[in-house]
């Protein structure tokens, strides 16, 4: 996963669908078995917007935009049970969607609406998935593929999440961009139907991923 370097008055955000906590624990266990150092850093998720640097002052506008996107979205079912890989382009093993991919695609297009604050292009075609291993040795990728074959996940998506990376520009002390490096925090959860979710009670929220306005990053592939 590539994290863009934020400017002096920027922070890095991402938008994703968080996994229910029991499924998130299964994904972490696979990543740990594969020797993936991001197992405890990146919360298991389906990326809708890759890591993106935005102006800190634009965060309120970003939240309004995501609230409007959520307001026009109906809950949908997701089933993940197909192990895939981006090798040799990228050393990634993932769990793909058997159902719900079209809904995720429509949702990410609306998140990146060219008229909104998160407009951006992607370096690779959007491919919704949950990462099981990222940039580890080949035997680790094989382990992730083997263990991932035993996973089946079914759940209803009812909200999307805005994440913020725990980093800040050198010499910049804005409290909205914490100084600690390496993880992700949930800024807000937006319930489908338009309300701001009070707190994602059954999702894993400690760590994941999302664009510097109009600056492509690595494949949506992989966080």
Question: Which region among 54-58, 70-74, 200-204, 209-213 has the lowest average model confidence (pLDDT)?
Answer: 209-213
> CB–CB of 49/118 below 8 Å?
yes
The residue assigned the tokens 């850093």 is: 41
Q: Can you give the residue ranges of every domain in the chain?
A: 15-197
The residue assigned the tokens 């966080």 is: 223
Query: What CATH superfamily is the domain 15-197?
Result: Cyclic phosphodiesterase (3.90.1140.10)
pLDDT at 110: 98
Task: Report DSSP letters for 5-28, one per residue.
Answer: PP-TTEEEEEEEEEPBHHHHHHHH
Question: Average of pLDDT values for 189-209?
Answer: 59
> CB–CB of 1/16 below 8 Å?
no
pTM: 0.83
Can you tell me the distance from the alpha carbon of 110 to that of 72, in angstroms, rounded to the nearest whole number? 10
pLDDT in tens, 101-153: 999 999 999 999 999 999 999 988 999 999 999 999 999 999 999 999 999 99
pLDDT at 207: 40
Question: Average of pLDDT values for 73-91?
Answer: 95
Q: What percent of the chain has pLDDT over 70?
A: 79
């Amino acid at each position: 996963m590539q994290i863009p370097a934020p400017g002096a008055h920027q922070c890095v955000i991402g938008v994703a669908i968080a996994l229910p906590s029991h499924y998130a624990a299964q994904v972490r266990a696979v990543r740990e078995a594969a020797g993936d150092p991001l197992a405890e850093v990146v919360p298991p998720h389906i990326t809708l917007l890759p890591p993106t640097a935005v102006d800190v002052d634009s965060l309120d506008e970003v939240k309004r935009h995501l609230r409007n996107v959520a307001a026009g979205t109906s809950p949908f079912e997701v089933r993940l049970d197909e192990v895939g890989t981006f090798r040799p382009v990228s050393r990634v093993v993932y769990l793909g969607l058997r159902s719900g991919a079209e809904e995720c695609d429509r949702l990410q297009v609306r998140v990146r609406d060219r008229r909104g604050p998160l407009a951006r292009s992607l370096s690779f075609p959007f491919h919704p998935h949950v990462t099981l291993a990222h940039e580890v040795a080949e035997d680790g990728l094989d382990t992730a593929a083997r263990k991932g074959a035993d996973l089946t996940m079914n759940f209803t998506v009812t909200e999307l999440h805005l994440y913020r990376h725990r980093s800040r520009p050198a010499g910049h002390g804005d409290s909205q961009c914490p100084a600690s490096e390496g993880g992700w925090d949930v800024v807000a959860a937006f319930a489908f139907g338009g309300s701001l979710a009070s707190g994602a009670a059954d999702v894993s929220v400690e760590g994941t991923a999302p664009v510097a306005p109009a600056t492509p990053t690595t494949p949506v592939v992989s966080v």
